Amino acid sequence: MKLELNNIYLMDCFKFLSKVSKNSIDLAVIDPPYNLKKAQWDNFKSHDDFLSFTFKWIDLLIPTIKQTGSLYIFNTPYNAAFILRYLLDKGLIFQNWITWDKRDGLSVSKKKYSNAQETILFFTKSNRYTFNVDDIRIPYESTERINHATKKGILKNGKRWFPNPKGKLCTDVWHFSSERHKNKINGKTPKLPHVTPKPLDMIERIIKASSNPGDIVLDCFMGIGTTAIAAKKNGRNFIGCDINKEYVNIAKKRLNEISLQDENKENLNNELVMYEF
């Protein structure tokens, strides 16, 4: 079977990944089940069952990523610790443990600290990888100090430092309001089209940093298509799947609704490019 680029398949991740050709993917953005029992697909009999499922898709995913490619995996900090160990054992190169401050809680507890973060593991296949540091700079906070520094510079170790007009370097702690939090009305979250959609601006940060226009971005747990939308908006090609028909339909509808910035149109493979897998 051939897979089409810029398409989302209604398929199980194992079947899908077995069809993706080796060394073809520039960036994998993976937001898999967490075993938090948020939905039927997020419910595993035990932590061991969850880990065997996770390690099984990781085993199929790794060979699809190019030697110059990158991999981001979302999960709870606890699960991320196991996944990190597994990726190291598989020879991948650790780059960052990113803490996503969700501005919303995963769960409230009075017997320990309430969870308010998720982890994003950033790994690469080798030391030759894309990292567009200037494309993900963040505006400086202290405008007064920065205005002053822009004019006169700040003396640092005998050298004059001038702020970068694109902003400061992005750190490994990310503050993005969760979709649940953003959509709250009078403190209550209305039913969203997906139980755990990721914020588009956060996925765009990953795509801008770790891929270039025209690259191929893979997501084998596509949900309602956030990765595909972020890729399309930024002139990257995408490919992915989800096992839920309703989510795949919503993802396709959302994809049709977004308009591309002109500069990104030429980077997309609009004719359906067929990949022999």
Ligand X SMILES: C[S@@+](CC[C@H](N)C(=O)[O-])C[C@H]1O[C@@H](n2cnc3c(N)ncnc32)[C@H](O)[C@@H]1O
As measured in angstroms, the least distance from the Cβ of 38 to ligand X is 8
Q: If binding is defined by CB under 6 A, does position 236 make contact with ligand X?
A: no
Helix (H) or strand (E) holding 75: strand 65-75
H helix count then E strand count, the chain: 9, 12
Q: What is the DSSP letter of 266?
A: T
- For ligand X, the binding residue among 28, 98, 241, 268 (CB under 6 A) is 241
Q: Which is nearer to ligand X, 146 or 197 (CB)?
A: 197
Phi, psi (degrees; rounded to nearest 5) at 52: -65, -35
Q: Could you say which residues in the range 15-34 bind ligand X, by CB under 6 A?
A: 31-33
As measured in angstroms, the least distance from the Cβ of 171 to ligand X is 23
Q: Could you say which residues in the range 185-224 bind ligand X, by CB under 6 A?
A: 194, 196-198, 221, 223-224
Q: Which is nearer to ligand X, 136 or 224 (CB)?
A: 224
Buried b / exposed e along 80-115 (16+ C-beta atoms within 10 A) = beebbeebeeeebeebeebbbebeeebeeeeeeeeb
- For ligand X, the binding residue among 12, 101, 104, 135 (CB under 6 A) is 12
User: How far is residue 249's CA from residue 245's CA, in Å, rounded to a whole number?
Assistant: 6
Which of 90, 74, 71, 59 has its CA nearest to residue 25? 71
Phi, psi (degrees; rounded to nearest 5) at 234: -105, 20
Scanning 81-89, 146-154, 168-176, 243-251 for contacts with ligand X by CB under 6 A, the matching segment is 243-251
- For ligand X, the binding residue among 4, 10, 36, 41 (CB under 6 A) is 41
The footprint of ligand X (CB under 6 A) covers 12-13, 31-33, 41, 194, 196-198, 221, 223-224, 226, 241-244, 247
